[in-house]
Structure 1
Amino acid sequence: MSTPGNVIRVLAFLFYNTILIAQTVNYTSSQNIIANPERGLQKYSITSNNYATAVGANNLSVSTLEDWKNGSDKVTVVFRYFLLDAFLDSNINNTYLDNIRNDFDNIRLAGLKTIVRFSYSNSQGTEPQQPTKTQILTHISQIAQILDENKDIILSHQAGFIGTWGEWYYTNSAEFGTEGSISTEQWNNRKEIVDAMLSATPTNIPLQVRYANIKKTMYGNTPLTEQTAYKNTANARIGFFNDAFLNDYGDQGTYSVSNQCATPVGTSDYNFIANETKYLPMTGETNGLNGCDSGFRTSGANAIDEMNLTNWTTINRDFYTPFWDGVIASNTYEEIVRRLGYRYTLTSSSVTVNNLDFDLALEIQNVGFARIFKERDVYLMIQNTETNDIITSLIDTDIRTWENTTTINQNFDIGISGTFKLYLWIPDNDVTLQTNPDYSIQLANTGTWNSPTGYNDLLQTITLEPSLSVDDIVLENNKLSIYPNPTSSDLTIKVHESIKEDIQIYNSLGQLIMKIHPLKIQKIDVSHLDGGIYFFKIGNSKIAQCKLIKK
């Protein structure tokens, strides 16, 4: 900075060329239930009969959605079941399509996301459970634009359209077969529906199928890996929903088992889904208490174990009530709610400053049941404490790989001096939601969340200063140089010939330990000094001071 008639470079620390300043913060984890996006308990909702006849009928209300989010369960996901029973023989009308748009608008206004499923029948019977394949394909093409318009708030798109509840079991259809009797041609017809869904659904939205054999039959049983996941392929895009979690008959068809009471854990289907859901969503609900083992499988403790094994992201809170009553009675409810999906806890951060750049080390634990499955960028927000200006720097990490303990080490060279506060920001990747803190991820720590911005405060404040050479310290147009720095014995002091005042040396406690009469160049012995940092000062000058490190 400059002042009239003088150039002053203040607090020029010569030893910055060789010494690094490190500071570490350890964090306290929080046990609070957090309203984080794309995870947790989901609320159930279904369209009514007048959804097809009156715009605004049966739309989700913003106030109800906000109540769910702000309530004790911190719900951020709503399951929206679009019942298309009015269109078994016709295209979806504009009233129905407009109501879908209204629902999506309200979900976005409330700061939630949605899991969607389209189906034609909500009860078993002898009547058709879905239209013809041709009509279904037309319906899928009709909703394609709406899905694209709202891809920012759609968490997943479940493969409904076929069978009662859209679960692909009971179809009463020669085109699609029924569970236990599906021909190769009927499987091909089913696959044509899923292929059409993949084409109509934006690539950032995963699909979900009801049971393991659907994906294995149509797309093979080669398991996903870190190298094949997150691609625009059918295998990388199709996850699972389990609407009979922990029930008998292998969660009622989710897994192939030998008999009603056989446990699915450890079977090939179970292992397949456990692997796929490392990279893809697992959601659903319980639909009854498993009586085969005196209720052990549907106990809260076992629910926690199996949610962890199969990487559960969300589960329906509204069904099945006796299951949830048992979970509450066993004091496992809050652990389930906390751990559904991801739960990131910051363990520590360490900052090492060197001139205008610094190294940041982060240790983060994921104590949730699952990894996040949608791409999100992670940023370091560097805020100037004087101007409040923010520099946004991308952190080189893929949050989808954060499992157990993750360590991040990265250098940041922002090229400017000043004092800065550091924040971690994990926003939604979609530009429409990025600046909305409702869609940013809050770390499960105490005293770090900044709700207005959606930033996580690292509780780190750093000062960056430029490095200067031995001739670069200017004090009222007079030069002072000390070298080598650091040193263990001899030190050379070089001063401008105009300096007449004594040079004072202070220790880190501010105690004067030595005075030196100024000579143009002189060498002094500092071997007798204790190791540490010392300050050089000219006379009574309060303008600046130099630092020496004694080894």
Structure 2
Amino acid sequence: MPRTIPALTLALALSFFAGCTSGQAPGGGSWTTLAPAPLPLTQNLLNPGRGFFTTGIDLLHPDEDAYAAVRAQGYTLAYPYETWLPADRELTEAELAALQRGFDLVRRHGFKLILRFRYSEAGDAEWSRITRHLEQLLPLIQANADVIAVLQAGFLGRWGEWHCWQASGPCHDGAAEKKYVLDALLGALADAGYDDLPVAVRYPADKARYLGDVSFTGDDDVPPPPEPVGGFAESAGLRGRIAHLNDCFLSSANDVGTYPDVPPERVAQWRAFTYAENAYLVFGGETCEAEDRDDPARARGARALAELERAHLDYLNADYHPGMLDRWRQDGIYGEIAARMGYRLVVEEAAWTKAPAGKAWAFRLNLRNDGFSRLKRRYNVVLVLRRGDRTVERPLGFDLRTLAAGATETFVQEGIAGLEAGRWRFGVAVRDPAPRLATRPEYAIRLANDLDYDGVNWLGTLEVAAP
């Protein structure tokens, strides 16, 4: 747990670890600076949209105790593995109500979903049943998009993974069916105002074919990949809305069919394409073997960490494959993986200018990203100032998505509206953009520093002089 420093104690302590000047501030004058201590790299933070996920909830049979246990067990993400759609009929009104209750419980207990609808391990359902279920479920997806971290395309194939290998019942994995599902999901999210919420597909070549970049009829004739996406959804359009998932990560040379391998050089080409896209798109899944069956050392120790960095890994199943997860514990890297998945934002320095009462002032934040990935949705960054029972908020125009994995960046806000004279405690809140979640500390981002945190990362005190 972080060490809590009372505001007055912190104000007295600033002289020990904060300099008084750091170059000229806008309009002259100087900066007052603060360099809070970082948390240990292996200390995992319960931040939204990242990390290991649990499979211990069921949307169709919501049990509040199971939902309440998610954060208590150290997770902010859950995948409702036991939520299987009925292949022989449409969903009943009672089942649709149960699904909504499940979403409500997710929101009540402060986590988000990795959501994939599917039918069975054996296959899917008749096509008319699939289209009817989509029709029934799209309104629920739209109404609850605020608590969906990533929507996996699903509906087709075994486990909803878009393949029919060794299927023993009805099964669909054709290009037309995949296009139908993607069109429906992407369109529904855009109509609901969530066109920055990713829809993830199991096979990278399927994304490229959907976008018209490549053409193929089977795994043996997949051409090289196109150029990877180079930005987020608002600039990249559909290319920035379709993400990748890998349910056999680090499990064989081609990750058990994730990447085409005819000719053999296709594996490296499509893996490089996927990893490059993951720099901007949410990426995760699960491992499906105890080790890489073709190169066991690939998934061990330093090599595993290096590949997770290259892959920009955001989330991973905490339950599967237990053999690989145990090996990571044996190698002493499990804690670091848990802490570094997704983004991990560390304050290297916070700085502010002298702020006479009623006069504009400036604020600066130097951040380092120690995560494997980065923040991939834009959160609202707010400066929170408190004096007694009075709280004032000043929005900061910081887009923290620009801070790439392994990078350091300086964010500056000038012209901040002035304050009344007195001593103000101040900090930074990084809030979910969804209105229903914006005031919920569970959905805000904690910075990886030894700071008092309650939904606001409290940095110190600001003295505002009387005019």
Give the alignment's TM-score, normalised by structure 2.
0.83
Determine whether 1:333 maps to 2:334: yes
2:47 to 16, 19, 36: 36
The gaps in structure 1 that reach 5 residues or longer are: 1-17, 52-57, 124-128, 179-185, 467-551
Q: Shift in Å at residue 423 of structure 1?
A: 0.7
2:228 aligned partner, one-letter code: P
Residues in 2 aligned to 1:291 and 1:363: alpha-carbon distance in whole angstroms: 39
State the partner residue of 1:116.
115
State the partner residue of 2:134.
140
Q: Shift in Å at residue 133 of structure 1?
A: 3.2
Q: Deviations over 1:14-58 (max 9, x none)?
A: xxxx9735311111100221111111110014759xx5xxxxxx3
Determine whether 1:65 maps to 2:45: no
Larger mean CA deviation between 100-109 and 38-47 belongs to 38-47
1:400 aligned partner, one-letter code: R
1:122 aligned partner, one-letter code: E
Structure-2 change in CA distance of 1:67 and 1:82 (3 Å)? closer
Residues in 2 aligned to 1:354 and 1:368: alpha-carbon distance in whole angstroms: 34
Q: Deviations over 1:418-449 (max 9, x none)?
A: 13222100011111111111111101101x13
Question: Residue 223 of structure 1 aligns to a residue in which SS?
Answer: coil
Residues in 1 aligned to 2:418 and 2:298: alpha-carbon distance in whole angstroms: 58
Residues in 2 aligned to 1:336 and 1:240: alpha-carbon distance in whole angstroms: 19
Structure-2 change in CA distance of 1:310 and 1:19 (3 Å)? closer
Q: Shift in Å at residue 120 of structure 1?
A: 1.3
Structure-2 change in CA distance of 1:82 and 1:292 (3 Å)? closer
Equivalent pair of 1:42/1:77 in contact (CA under 8 Å): yes
Q: Shift in Å at residue 301 of structure 1?
A: 2.7
Q: Deviations over 1:296-339 (max 9, x none)?
A: 12214333212111111110000111111111111101100000
Q: Shift in Å at residue 67 of structure 1?
A: 3.0
Determine whether 1:244 maps to 2:232: no
1:251 aligned partner, one-letter code: D
Q: Shift in Å at residue 84 of structure 1?
A: 4.2
1:168 to 152, 155, 162: 162
1:194 aligned partner, one-letter code: L
Q: Shift in Å at residue 416 of structure 1?
A: 3.6
- Whichever of the two has the greater Rg, that structure is 1
Q: Shift in Å at residue 275 of structure 1?
A: 2.0
State the partner residue of 2:377.
374
Question: Residue 255 of structure 2 aligns to a residue in which SS?
Answer: helix
Question: Residue 104 of structure 2 aligns to a residue in which SS?
Answer: helix
State the partner residue of 1:27.
36
* Correspondence 1:255-404 to 2 at 5 A: 255-258=259-262, 264=267, 267-290=268-291, 292-293=293-294, 295-353=296-354, 355=356, 356-383=359-386, 385=387, 387-403=388-404, 404=407
Larger mean CA deviation between 239-248 and 404-413 belongs to 404-413
Equivalent pair of 2:349/2:366 in contact (CA under 8 Å): yes
2:80 aligned partner, one-letter code: R
Residues in 2 aligned to 1:27 and 1:382: alpha-carbon distance in whole angstroms: 18
Determine whether 1:191 maps to 2:195: no
Residues in 1 aligned to 2:135 and 2:235: alpha-carbon distance in whole angstroms: 23
Equivalent pair of 1:25/1:460 in contact (CA under 8 Å): no
Structure-2 change in CA distance of 1:433 and 1:145 (3 Å)? same
Question: Residue 24 of structure 1 aligns to a residue in which SS?
Answer: strand
Report the aligned-residue RMSD.
2.6
Question: Residue 338 of structure 2 aligns to a residue in which SS?
Answer: helix
Residues in 2 aligned to 1:116 and 1:417: alpha-carbon distance in whole angstroms: 47
State the partner residue of 2:100.
101
Q: Shift in Å at residue 293 of structure 1?
A: 4.9
Question: Residue 393 of structure 1 aligns to a residue in which SS?
Answer: strand
* Correspondence 1:505-524 to 2 at 5 A: none
State the partner residue of 1:209.
201
Structure-2 change in CA distance of 1:194 and 1:114 (3 Å)? same
Equivalent pair of 1:20/1:354 in contact (CA under 8 Å): no
Equivalent pair of 2:429/2:444 in contact (CA under 8 Å): yes
Structure-2 change in CA distance of 1:166 and 1:206 (3 Å)? same
Equivalent pair of 1:37/1:76 in contact (CA under 8 Å): yes
Structure-2 change in CA distance of 1:433 and 1:197 (3 Å)? same
The gaps in structure 2 that reach 5 residues or longer are: 1-26, 214-225
Equivalent pair of 1:289/1:298 in contact (CA under 8 Å): no
Question: Residue 207 of structure 2 aligns to a residue in which SS?
Answer: helix
Residues in 2 aligned to 1:47 and 1:329: alpha-carbon distance in whole angstroms: 31
1:395 aligned partner, one-letter code: L
Equivalent pair of 2:53/2:76 in contact (CA under 8 Å): yes
Q: Shift in Å at residue 174 of structure 1?
A: 12
Structure-2 change in CA distance of 1:293 and 1:175 (3 Å)? closer
Question: Residue 328 of structure 1 aligns to a residue in which SS?
Answer: helix
Determine whether 1:225 maps to 2:230: yes
Equivalent pair of 1:21/1:354 in contact (CA under 8 Å): no
2:340 aligned partner, one-letter code: R
Q: Deviations over 1:205-228 (max 9, x none)?
A: 2100002111011112342123x6
State the partner residue of 1:534.
none
1:109 aligned partner, one-letter code: R
Q: Shift in Å at residue 271 of structure 1?
A: 1.8
Structure-2 change in CA distance of 1:294 and 1:189 (3 Å)? closer
Question: Residue 118 of structure 1 aligns to a residue in which SS?
Answer: coil
Residues in 1 aligned to 2:248 and 2:28: alpha-carbon distance in whole angstroms: 61
1:422 aligned partner, one-letter code: F
1:363 aligned partner, one-letter code: N
Residues in 1 aligned to 2:295 and 2:181: alpha-carbon distance in whole angstroms: 40
Residues in 2 aligned to 1:351 and 1:101: alpha-carbon distance in whole angstroms: 45
Equivalent pair of 2:54/2:318 in contact (CA under 8 Å): yes
Residues in 2 aligned to 1:107 and 1:405: alpha-carbon distance in whole angstroms: 34
Q: Shift in Å at residue 85 of structure 1?
A: 4.8
Structure-2 change in CA distance of 1:37 and 1:163 (3 Å)? same
Higher helix share: 2
2:429 to 425, 432, 439: 425
Q: Deviations over 1:195-252 (max 9, x none)?
A: 11212234242100002111011112342123x6345833221111111010114111
Residues in 2 aligned to 1:249 and 1:46: alpha-carbon distance in whole angstroms: 32
1:331 aligned partner, one-letter code: G
Equivalent pair of 1:140/1:200 in contact (CA under 8 Å): no
State the partner residue of 1:462.
463
Residues in 1 aligned to 2:83 and 2:435: alpha-carbon distance in whole angstroms: 31
Structure-2 change in CA distance of 1:107 and 1:243 (3 Å)? same
State the partner residue of 2:223.
none
Equivalent pair of 1:377/1:399 in contact (CA under 8 Å): no
Determine whether 1:434 maps to 2:438: yes
Identity %: 26
1:79 aligned partner, one-letter code: Y
